[in-house]
Chain A
Amino acid sequence: MNESDFLKVVLPFKDKVFRLAKRLLVSKDEAEDATQELLLKLWKNKDKITSYRNTEAFAMTMTKNYCYDRLKSKQAGNLTLIHGNYKEKETSLDKKLEYIDSVDRVHLLIDNLPDQQKIIIQLRDVEQYNFKEICEMVNMKPTAVRVSLSRARKTIREQLTKQHSYGVNQD
């Protein structure tokens, strides 16, 4: 397997790796480093790639594990998101700003979820993997994945409704 063959295999899912890494590591720089590191790991094991049943699922699992390691080792100097100012913007008339702000709110809500739920909601609702693939990636039983996903979706929705109705009351 030469370089261009490898890139052909890797390119379709490199963005997914990056997004999952960013979901877990928060900072963009960290996520980029993680992606680069991961692709390099895959490249080093390129001879085995063909023997993997599903390279993409394997890459996602590796990403997950790599990010966990990074988080554990505390080497990762995460950027903390500052979000104390959205109440002011809520009363603003600029609808577009409100929209951007709200989208950010969803981001923050996902950010506050437990890591496992974060990963599963990322894999399902952003990347649209099927349950079989997700089970393989996170090494969990289908029911456990569903429970986790359902909890994540419910939490996000509840929190958002709370904040949203608060905003509506102010109007």
Chain B
Amino acid sequence: MELTKIERLLVKYKNAETTLKEEDILRMYFTSNKVAPHLKEYQLIFNYFKSNNDETYTKKIKLNNKIKKRNWLMVAASITLLLSTYSGLTMINQYNQKKQAAENLAQITNVLKLVSTNLKKGNQALKKLHVYEDSVYKIFKKIK
């Protein structure tokens, strides 16, 4: 490719007057390895355009109906969440009730134990009283 032709095309290119075919010629020239040293910057430019053109959209394309499915899934998920929290709450309530009952029982047993110890004390006091009574009775018997 003669250099003068390329240079002529470059002037047109800068003025945005080149056709696509002419730009193809430029692209071919500047992406080859034989570029005149004073035109190095164009090599950079055209190589950039070429490399940019290689970039692609790699993600999967999601269309409407798949999103609908996702909506449906979301509804299902929210329902299960609701149910599980509800059942979870009832279970927690039951557990709490059981715990409460056990505590109450413990308290009552404590109270009853206290009462029984007090009663025992009372019993012992009564025994002493019996001893007194017996002795008093004996004395009265002798006097009689």
Contact = CB atoms under 8 A, between A and B. Distances in A.
Interface of A: 3, 6-7, 10, 14-15, 17-19, 22, 32, 35-36, 39-40, 43-44, 99, 102-103, 105-107, 124-128, 130, 145-147, 149-150, 153-154, 156-157, 160-161, 164
B71 to A, nearest CB: 14
A128 B23 contact: yes
Interface residues on B, range: 20 to 34
Say what secondary structure dominates the interface of chain B.
helix
A36 B53 contact: no
Interface in B34-92: 40-42, 44-45, 47-49, 51-53, 55-57, 59, 61-65, 67
Contacts of A130: 20
Nearest to A168: B40
B40 A40 contact: no
18 contacts: A15-B55, A18-B55, A19-B53, A22-B55, A36-B59, A40-B62, A102-B44, A125-B23, A125-B49, A126-B49, A127-B53, A146-B17, A150-B15, A150-B16, A154-B14, A157-B14, A157-B41, A164-B41
Contacts of A156: 45
A169 to B, nearest CB: 14
B29 interface: no
A153 B20 contact: no
